[in-house]
Amino acid sequence: MSRKDEDTKATEATVAEERIQTGRRGFLGAAGLVIGAGVVSTLPGCGPKPADSTPTPPATPTPTPEPAGGGAHASNEVPPGQLDTYYGLWSGGQSGEIRIVGVPSMRELKRIPVFNRDSATGWGRDDFSKQLLGNRESGDTHHVHPSYHGGTYDGRFIFVNDKAGGRVARVRCDTMECDHIVTVPFGHGTHGIFPQRHHTGLVFCNSEFQAPLPIPGTNPQDPHTYSALHTAIDGETMELKWQVLVDGNMDLCATDYEGKYSFATCYNSERGAHLADMMAAEKDFLYVFNLARITAAVAAGTDVIRLGDSPVPVVDARNANSPYVLRIPVPKSPHGVNVSPDGKYAIALGKLSPTASIVEIAKLDAAFAGTIQPIACIVAEPELGLGPLHTAFDGRGNAYTSIFIDSVICKWNIAKAIAAHTDDTIDPIVQKIDVHYQVGHTNASMSETKDADGKWLIALCKFSKDRFLNVGPLHPENDQLIDISGERMVLMHDGPTYPEPHDCVMVERSIINPIKMMTRNGPRFDMYEAWAREDGITLLTDTRVIRKSDTSVRVYMTSRAPSFALTEFNVKQGDSVQIIVTNQDSVEDLTHGFCMTHHDVNFVVNPQDTRSMTFVADRPGMFWYYCPWFCHALHLEMRGRMFVEARA
């Protein structure tokens, strides 16, 4: 083949590639919102194909990234033996967990079970987690947010919600384990959460689903009598402090940097129960909660009611003129609300409008005082694209908004957007980059702190379609890593992920310092030590079988590779058996576990740690127990026997 022929063939291939990409982008872009009619059209790939539809084009490789445009990152590769720059904290969605991802490598490092049962560690079955979870073994985590001090992360805690169960959990950053779970009273669909940023103070959470509450006049059949709650939890003690009663469905949550306000997007201000009813009004609201006024009302008992037998004080702010809540009109069905790193602006995004509403936080005092109207707090409404959801920041004055229907990330300049509000010759849009497909949340490195560094951005795409090998009807989702260090955004990495991460944050690695060996403190160890004192046991050294009653036995044992200190014990059929194992090894990464065969007992015991699980020995016979975590060359020999004697 001549050089001319080769060039012609290459040109034809390039044109064909562009046609495929353009066709796919056009197909995706065609899915939109019929805003005037208030109807959401069918998303591509979500319904059956027409009989005469053309076949889907074959998958095409990701285009080679363009130069980083002066950015500091040539690639996201982290060579073997090197460490990532950021801890990525991902929600686990329907799994009920938190996932830790190294950024920029995008390597999954750990899964932290929270609201779910985890066979590997025993979470959900061991005694401590069962106490936290009650009889539940599933959850739906949406939002993960670390604790703050002085406007940036302090490396102490991670808070996460359970939308399905109306709960909020706290994870300790030193152990990366959950230590508290609270149930929000009347928390129907607890969704958006956010901690205060000036210090580890209150953690706020929203009831997304308005519901019939025990208030006079409530009719369970009439949604127009329903209400929702904005709840404050003490981040240090995990005690419920107060709730504020409002109308409508509250979605995402945010806080300012001074501790004066919390925010909640409110959709379905119509208080409808069905889709068409929820989209009837032209406007919904951004709720702004005045924390000083609410705290004073709770202390004085002003406008405070009680719901059912809940001891938590509830401030009734359903009145449109309530002094506790400002209602800023925004385009209908708002979803995300995010606060810029300089603390000046709260940006609310309406799913059924292509615009963002930029709220100047400094104007809120005047609005609460009544000297300006709430709508005067909006200083700009830039048009970004179809289906804007969430906004991240780079610390250089730029915002990055995920556009669900258009399947793009839109980079825009906040100052230019405000200027363009009065001068339509100014274009605030800097760049739009395709992401694949239907992006939900987005976040940037340190974006939700005053230290936003503008290095990396994540697009959490809800659909992967043809991006990866086919693994059946349940496709992986697609996390995409984008370099935002230069003038131009550059797509660096596609990463399949098990459904369904809803949100993530990226924390600079020097802030979080997990321990490498268990320190024996916290509520879990308080529980173990109370049992040990009761039985005259020293957990780190003692092995003993104690019969607590005619039908219950407590078994203390230690482990040191490659053996358990107790290699056999006897119980009776029908006994409740509590196994308490302490790992005496002090070698980093030398984890043991305990598995009792045929009894649904399997849990991890890290170095210098203690764990326990309770089960019923329901049938006579001999049963092996063993260490399920590889710990020694003689690991397979690390086992023992439980003898269950039949009762007469």
Indicate the residue among 508, 543, 563 that finishes a domain.
508
Bridge partners of residue 633, in order along the sequence: none
What type of residue is 628? P
Is residue 185 within 8 A of residue 312, CB to CB? The reply is: yes
Q: Which two tokens stand for residue 505?
A: 């944050």
pLDDT at residue 69 is higher than 90: no
Mean pLDDT along residues 237-252: 96
Phi-psi region of 301 (alpha: psi -120 to 50; beta: other; left: phi over 0): left
The continuous run of DSSP H or E covering 416 comes out as helix 414-420
pLDDT at residue 408 is higher than 50: yes
Instruction: Please give the residue range of the domain that contains residue 624.
Output: 523-645
The whole-number pLDDT of residue 48 equals 37
Q: How far apart are CA 41 and CA 39, in angstroms?
A: 6
Angle made by CA atoms 605, 609, 613, in degrees to the nearest 5: 55
pLDDT at residue 18 is higher than 80: no
At 316, which CATH number?
2.130.10.10
Q: How far apart are CA 635 and CA 630, in angstroms?
A: 6
In which order are the strands placed within the sheet that holds 477-483?
439-444, 456-461, 477-483, 490-497
Q: Which two tokens stand for residue 553?
A: 């036995």
The verdict on 577 and 498 lying in the same domain is no
Q: Which two tokens stand for residue 204?
A: 């706020």
The verdict on 185 and 283 lying in the same domain is yes
Report if residue 316 sits inside a domain.
Answer: yes
Give the tens place of pLDDT for each residue, 500-549.
999 999 999 999 999 999 999 999 999 999 999 999 999 999 999 999 99
The whole-number pLDDT of residue 195 equals 98
The verdict on 281 and 144 lying in the same domain is yes
Where helices occur in 279-345 by DSSP H, the ranges are 291-300
Q: Count Cβ atoms below 10 Å from residue 539 Cβ, excluding itself.
A: 17
Lowest mean pLDDT across 80-84, 215-219, 575-579, 594-598: 215-219
Mean pLDDT along residues 58-76: 46
The verdict on 239 and 348 lying in the same domain is yes
Backbone angles phi, psi at 250, to 5 degrees: -95, 135
The whole-number pLDDT of residue 75 equals 81
269: confidence class by pLDDT, cuts 50, 70, 90: confident
Give the tens place of pLDDT for each residue, 133-177.
998 999 999 999 999 999 999 999 999 999 999 999 999 999 999
Is residue 432 within 8 A of residue 439, CB to CB? The reply is: no
Report if residue 47 sits inside a domain.
Answer: no
Q: How far apart are CA 129 and CA 159, in angstroms?
A: 17
What type of residue is 485? S
The verdict on 638 and 501 lying in the same domain is no
The verdict on 161 and 248 lying in the same domain is yes
Backbone angles phi, psi at 604, to 5 degrees: -95, 150
The verdict on 641 and 498 lying in the same domain is no
pTM (global) more than 0.85:
yes
pLDDT at residue 39 is higher than 70: no
pLDDT above 90 as % of the chain = 83
What type of residue is 23? G
The whole-number pLDDT of residue 74 equals 57
pLDDT at residue 14 is higher than 80: no
The whole-number pLDDT of residue 272 equals 83
Give the distance, in angstroms, between the CA of residue 409 and the centroid of all CA atoms in the same chain.
Answer: 20
The residue to which tokens 């074959």 are assigned = 58
Is residue 391 within 8 A of residue 410, CB to CB? The reply is: no
At 631, which CATH number?
2.60.40.420
All residues at 6 or more sequence positions from 263 whose CB lies less than 8 Å from its CB, including other chains: 253, 254, 255, 256, 286, 287, 288, 289, 337, 339, 346, 348
Give the tens place of pLDDT for each residue, 620-636.
999 999 999 999 999 99
Give me the torsion for CA of 421, 426, 428, 432, rounded to 10°. 130
Structural domains in the chain (count): 2
The verdict on 498 and 546 lying in the same domain is no
Report if residue 527 sits inside a domain.
Answer: yes
pLDDT at residue 389 is higher than 90: yes
The whole-number pLDDT of residue 507 equals 98
Mean pLDDT along residues 265-271: 88
Backbone angles phi, psi at 511, to 5 degrees: -80, -35
The continuous run of DSSP H or E covering 534 comes out as helix 523-535
Q: How far apart are CA 451 and CA 71, in angstroms?
A: 18
The verdict on 498 and 538 lying in the same domain is no
